[in-house]
Amino acid sequence: MRPEEFQKAVGDLTQAATSTHPSVALAVPHVEQWLKLGAMTTTGKPCFLFDFQSSSHPNLQLLRSLNMTSIGTGYDLANSIFSPDGRNFQVEYAVKAVENGGTSVGIRCKDGVVLAVEKVVTSKLLKPGANKRIATIDRHLGAVYSGMIPDGHHFVDRARDEARAWRETFKTPISTSDLASRMGGYLQAYTLYQSVRPFGITAIVGGFDSELEAPVDGEVGSGPSIGAGGKVEGKHGGPGLYMIEPSGMYWGYYGAATGKGRQAAKAELEKLDLAAGNLDLMQGVKEAARIIYVAQDDNKDKEFELEMSWISNADGPTKGRHVHVPKEILEEAERYAKKAISDDDDDDDEEKKDEDKMEE
């Protein structure tokens, strides 16, 4: 390193340290010694190539945090810090964790809700059907999630606590929208404090709320025994589907998808025109299976297991309860999905042959 480069590096590092953390000035006399140890990058900008991670000196701890600012310009070091352009990097990193998880799908049908998830088989020693990723929150509510599985387990436990507390307080089952609201607030609380980190999951919550009118005078306990305990006059009951993100934001959906294959899954959901309300529960099971297979098509080399659940009204196949799809119906849905994928591949091959003939 030429003398003029060395002096410039000393000045740059000193200025950066003192301007970012004024209390780090006590450590500045050591800058020249550090630079002599080779603390220069290939671009000529100063950095720390030596090992001071184990030091407990307060000034070196500040320099350690200064050295980490290259990741998120320093604003990703704590959960409770916003960057100047209004971003919360820790929440964005949590979203990245979700995007690495298996694909989850929720479909709101005219007579119920279907939940499905792609479970990648990481070992041949895993027992088929075990390691459930879809959980029952209350008898009329279910949830599926993508991302970090332990975070999902905690989410489910907390959601069950919320549903139980609602029953104890109001003497009636919690509605899908109220559960989404409470869990959204819970996840949002984990973005406010430095002592915690955001949840690394996005959850899809589905349920079937009572379609019967409840008295407006606040009477409780008189609602139906199945489903959320009666709706307020003028409010909509029936199936409900919500997706809750790591930030705590939640939205109501006709169809929702998250995880690694979310883009392909969303494209397929949009083709179903779910807002028209023409898709029944049995068709929804088949379409959910097909969408999971389409979303997994980019990772054909990875073996996976399909898990599905559904919720119907009191007159439907589940009698208003959230249960896993029976084995025979699940197998039929998988056969339908595989056939649909095979037919699409055949159509693509024929189109390619026609294009080749036209080019010739």
Cβ–Cβ contacts within 10 Å for residue 319, how many? Answer: 14
Residue with more model confidence, 236 or 92: 92
pLDDT at 170 over 60: yes
Q: Tell me which H or E stretch contains 342.
A: helix 327-359
The CATH number of 94-352 is 3.60.20.10
Sign of the dihedral defined by the CA atoms of residues 209, 213, 216, 220, in that order: negative
Query: What pLDDT score does 112 carry?
Result: 96
Going from the C-alpha of 255 to that of each of 109, 275, 279, 280, the distances in angstroms are 9, 9, 11, 13
Q: Which residues, listed in sequence order, are joined to residue 202 by a DSSP beta bridge?
A: 146
Query: What pLDDT score does 45 carry?
Result: 45
User: Which strands form 104-109's sheet, in the order they lie side by side?
Assistant: 255-258, 104-109, 112-120, 304-312, 322-324
Average pLDDT over residues 70-84: 76
pTM over 0.85: no
| CB-CB contact of 17 with 66 (8 Å) | yes
pLDDT at 256 over 80: yes
Cβ-count burial 39-49 (b if 16+ within 10 Å, e if not): bbeeeeebebe
Average pLDDT over residues 251-259: 97
Mean confidence (pLDDT) of the chain: 80
pLDDT at 272 over 90: yes
* CA–CA gap between residue 85 and residue 198 (Å, rounded): 20
**In which band, very low, low, confident or very high, does the pLDDT at 35 lie, cut at 50, 70 and 90?**
very low
* CA–CA gap between residue 190 and residue 192 (Å, rounded): 6
Express as a percent the part of the chain with pLDDT over 70. Answer: 67
pLDDT tens digits, one per residue of 189-218: 999 998 899 999 999 999 999 877 655 444
**How do beta strands 134-138 and 250-252 pair?**
unpaired
Residue 134 phi/psi, 5-degree rounding, is -105, 130
Give the single-character DSSP code of 228: B
Query: What pLDDT score does 302 carry?
Result: 80
Query: What pLDDT score does 360 carry?
Result: 59
Closest CA to 197 of 157, 150, 163: 150
Q: Which residue has the tokens 């489903």?
A: 227
**How do beta strands 213-214 and 250-252 pair?**
unpaired
pLDDT tens digits, one per residue of 90-140: 999 999 999 999 999 999 999 999 999 999 888 889 888 888 999 999 999
The SS3 of residue 9 is helix
Based on its alpha-carbon atoms, the radius of gyration of the chain, rounded to whole angstroms, reads 27
* CA–CA gap between residue 36 and residue 263 (Å, rounded): 50
Average pLDDT over residues 183-192: 97
pLDDT at 252 over 50: yes
Cβ-count burial 113-122 (b if 16+ within 10 Å, e if not): bbbbbbbeee
Q: In the chain, what are the domain boundaries?
A: 3-93, 94-352
